Every structure is written in structure tokens, then in C-alpha cells.
Structure 1
């Protein structure tokens, strides 16, 4: 058996790299990871959007000038902030929120509709009592940052006694969401339902071998990739031959063991936003040289990095459709 030449060895290594590195993509004649190891997660709009309280479920208008997100512990509430002269302004409560438990806002890719989750009473029911489960609702845009009356999405999306969460919508109107213990399926599972001109079709379950439960599905506008949560970690899957590829766990720059949720990719496709309770890399006590006093303890608890979820952001490098 002949010894391999140096050139042959390099070629074999090249093939191995392609076959066993599913998170590498071809971009400008170079292989680049979807989340580059040189990139670090940063807090989005610290002190304005990200605060010592809990924030999650980010969604931008198509022009990137308004961000909607969820905040609140006892009563989840949808708020929004606008950017002016490069700075994010103090958030306001969305006009359709602030009464009931509302969360998971998602602005459609064309900006004309905003989907959200709410436990508000249905039409025809007693209006002073929340419904027991969370359903998907939507509002239509009237003008910039102004929305119409909330509308409840009927069956087969919303079902009595079944909670739905984390809506995400593609350009052609396909609705992705997650639901717990839906129609006999145990645990949290992701679903998608096609828009059929004037109503949604029956939701189809999205299951992946190796992932027991999935939630918070974010669908690309053209539906060529899907980012979702399983456990504490974020995964990505690509649409291939009318099915989904095996989900690949995003790198340690995103998944470091802390609790993550609510993935969202910016309208320009360049930034991944997600909610995280991450502290590592942002804050650490100097336990060797200093013991905190009570005032310092309170300051620590009131800081951004007190284990409450912040919205983080990191560059993401996604392949074009057909190149995944």
C-alpha cells in the first residue's frame, strides 16, 4: 500500500472537515461557522431594553427601527422601543397590551401584522376573567407603531384547553409555534400551519430525532432554516428536500449551559437575538480579594447580571437558500 502524499493527506482532511462540520457554511470561497468563535455575545441596549428585570421574545419591524419584546414577572407585557439618532428610546407598553398576560410578539416579515400570545378573554366570554390557556392573537398595522383591534385565531390553531406559544411567520404566511401536550403529544412540541388564503390549515408537528422537546421556533422569511430551543440550548435546522436536516447545536458562544430562549434573526439576516440568563463573561465576583457588603449585594442584585434574562445579540453567518 502506497504512502499518502502530503497533497493527498490535505485533500482527505478537507473532505473530513466538510463531512463532519455541519455548522460550517460556504461564504465567499471560505468556510465560516454560523456563529464565529471570535464573536462574543453582547447585551442588547443595556439599561433601556435589557434591564435588571426579565426580557425576552425580540421582534423588529422590517426597517429595524422599532423593536417589540416581552417584559414582566407577574403579568407578562408587550413593550416596544424605537431608535433615534442611534439610541434606543425608553420603551412604551404596546397599545394592545397592558391588561392581560401578553407575550411573544412577532412582527410579520412585511410589517403589516403582529402576532402575540395572550390569555385575554375570547369574544362572547366574560370580559373580566382571563381564559385558562394562552392563545395566539394578532393585530393589523394601521400606521407606524399603531395597531388595530386584537383578533383571536380560530381552530385548528387555537384549541380549548391547549396553550400555544412563540408564534413566528414566514413571508408566505406559514405560521410556526409551539404547544404543550397538544392533541395527545406529550411535552412541548413545535408545529407549523400553512396559510390557505383565508384561514390556516391543520398544524403539522415538527419532530427531530434526538430532541425530546422543542419550542420557540423562529422561521426564516423564506423558510430555508429554522432556529429553535431544546432544553437550554439553541439549535438550527435547514430545509432540505421538503424535510428538515438534523438540528445542529449552535456553538459555545451562544450555548454555554445557561438558560436560553426566544431566538430571532434580524431582518437583514446578520444578527441573532435571544434571551439568556447568562452571567459568565459579563460579571464575576472577586471572591479571592473582596467579600461584598450588604450595599454591594443589593447593587449586584439590581444589576443587569442578576440571573434574570437579558436580550443578547451576536453576529450570525447564514447560508443563502439552496446552499445549506
Structure 2
């Protein structure tokens, strides 16, 4: 009887310690999220009073590709800025973009392939369906766009694909028979062509889930979602890979990053410690007294169009890996 009581007390003590650690861990995570300080990326060069979103930083940190678009995502082109003397330079149009609706740029981790999606014409594919394309490049010399081979492309739209170090492609799409409206998928690499999309079911909700980006070590997956419990629109989340290989419960990145407006397109720097994302947060809605003031308000960066932000997530990275 005494032994049973002792075992029970030990069990309760272990349980209490476990709960206490969990609460402390959650408190630490809340503190880390609350201390995040996102800022406009390269204001007046990359982030301007125009409509920009969907970015990618080259592995060497010297090239920054992103999208310049018309309102309502009706048309877009791919542009690139180069870093010289520690400063980002005026963007230029990528040589293969401008005619068709191109979006979602992505530098490969090996620095010799550039990816994007486009509505450019493809035989036997319905007009308006985004397909994934690839371009070889060496320094600043880009080749001609070619469709990514295999079954990643099809009669479904490929939205915001990102390419992992093992060449697997994570992306979002609307495919009949899956969990929600827009869902997260994985297309595994094969030398003969990418395999058919696999739904990442543990992360998908009945709402829209999109824009996946996986850390270089494969332990963290960032994405955006309209799932309940957020701030009112698309919110950025992160999930930690579990020991059994599945993705853990998504964590909302909090109100320092997310807003009541659209927060999307998460992309990591090569070392994983800087997160880039797109948002139309902080619109300037102060009252104006005359037409000139109205024009000035519309000409400011925070005029309700999308901009690109960056934030240091070094501490968040460390904590999530320790917790995971």
C-alpha cells in the first residue's frame, strides 16, 4: 500500500513538473513572438507604393527576386534587385518576364536554377491555370523557361511552390477531394520527373492553407492560413517536424507579424534566421483635408497595397528546435 502511494506521488510529481515545463515553454514562446520586430524590406527600393509580394533571396544573399503586380493580382511580372556595397539597387525586369502573368519566384538552394509559376500558354492546359516553370542561370545569365517535368503540373493550379534541399517541392493548390479549399501539398523529386502531389493532411484545415516554406534542415514549415483563431485574414504559422515524421500542431506567429489584413508568402534566408513575408498591413487611413493630401496619402508606401517585410527569427528558431 505504501509503495502504491509512493508510486502515485511520484507520478503526480512528474505530471506537475511536465505541466509546469509546458506552461513555461508556452510563456517563453509567447515572449519570443511578442519581441519580434518586422520591418519593411528595402523601403522605396523593394517595398514601395506599388504592389509587391512573393519574394525569394538567393543563397548568397546578393539577389532578391519578387513580384510587381497590378491590383487584385490581375497581372504580375518578376523583377530582381542586386545588393551592391551593402545596399539594394533599383530592381530590373527579369529577361523572360513581362508578357505573361508570372509570379512566385524561388531560387534553388544550389544556386543554378530559378523557379516561378505562370499562366503562359501550355498545350492541353486550360488558360488561367498556373504551372510551375524552371530557368537555368549562371550569375546573371538566365536561360529560357521550361516546364518543371513530371506530375507536379497538371490540370490543377500550382501556387507558391518552394524547393527543398532534396529537390522535393512544397506548394499549395486546389485539388478535388482534399481537406479544404486551398491546401498544402508535396511533390517528391524523381530523376525522371516529379511525382504526383501528396496532401500534407496533418496541416490542412477546412479553411485555406497556402504558401509553404521549409527550413533547410527540414525541421520547420512556415505557411499562411485562414483557419479559425487568427486575426481576421491570412495569418502566418509555423509547424515543427515531430519525431515520427509528421508535422506538429501549427503555431500562429502572433500579432507582431500578423494583422487583420493579408499576411502571406513566408520565405527564409539561407541560414533560416530571417523570415521574409508579404502584407498589406498598416494602411494610412488618416483623414485628409484636400485633394493634394489625398494624392499624397495614395502615394505613400502604406497605401493598402502589398509590401514585403523581413524579421529576425533567430531566437524563435532556437526555441522551436529545443521544444520540438
Asked if the contact 2:184–2:204 (Cα under 8 Å) also holds between the matched residues in 1, the reply is no
- In terms of fraction of residues, the more helix-rich structure is 2
By how many angstroms is 1:130 displaced?
8.6
Moved more, 166-175 or 150-159: 150-159
Tell me, in whole angstroms, the C-alpha distance in 2 between the residues paired with 1:22 and 1:49. 37
By how many angstroms is 1:251 displaced?
1.5
1:176 to 2:179 alignment: no
Alignment correspondent of 2:280: 277
Can you give the 5+ residue segments of structure 1 that lack an aligned partner in the other structure? Answer: 1-10, 25-30
Give the secondary structure class of the aligned counterpart of 2:90.
coil
Moved more, 223-232 or 145-154: 145-154
Give the secondary structure class of the aligned counterpart of 1:217.
strand
> CA-to-partner distance for each residue in 1:183-222, whole Å, 9 max, x for gaps?
4335101100111233212211012468322101111122
1:195 to 2:193 alignment: no
Alignment correspondent of 1:248: 251
Matching residue within 218, 221, 224 for 2:216: 221
Asked if the contact 1:238–1:244 (Cα under 8 Å) also holds between the matched residues in 2, the reply is yes
Classify 1:86/1:292 alpha carbon distance in 2 versus 1 (closer, same or farther; 3 Å).
farther
Give the secondary structure class of the aligned counterpart of 1:295.
helix
User: How much is the aligned-residue C-alpha RMSD, in angstroms?
Assistant: 2.6
By how many angstroms is 1:49 displaced?
0.4
Tell me, in whole angstroms, the C-alpha distance in 1 between the residues paired with 2:55 and 2:277. 7
Asked if the contact 2:33–2:253 (Cα under 8 Å) also holds between the matched residues in 1, the reply is no
Alignment correspondent of 1:134: 130
Give the secondary structure class of the aligned counterpart of 1:319.
helix
Classify 1:98/1:146 alpha carbon distance in 2 versus 1 (closer, same or farther; 3 Å).
same
By how many angstroms is 1:227 displaced?
0.3
Asked if the contact 1:23–1:248 (Cα under 8 Å) also holds between the matched residues in 2, the reply is no
Classify 1:298/1:109 alpha carbon distance in 2 versus 1 (closer, same or farther; 3 Å).
same
> CA-to-partner distance for each residue in 1:62-81, whole Å, 9 max, x for gaps?
11010000111142101000
Asked if the contact 1:35–1:253 (Cα under 8 Å) also holds between the matched residues in 2, the reply is no
Tell me, in whole angstroms, the C-alpha distance in 2 between the residues paired with 1:307 and 1:13. 48
By how many angstroms is 1:34 displaced?
8.7
Tell me, in whole angstroms, the C-alpha distance in 1 between the residues paired with 2:313 and 2:256. 11
Can you give the 5+ residue segments of structure 2 that lack an aligned partner in the other structure? Answer: 1-13, 227-233
Classify 1:22/1:144 alpha carbon distance in 2 versus 1 (closer, same or farther; 3 Å).
farther
> CA-to-partner distance for each residue in 1:14-48, whole Å, 9 max, x for gaps?
75464246667xxxxxx566954233221101111
After superposition, where does 1:35-114 map in structure 2 within 5 Å? 35-73=32-70, 74-114=74-114
Alignment correspondent of 1:239: 241
TM-score normalised per structure 2 = 0.83
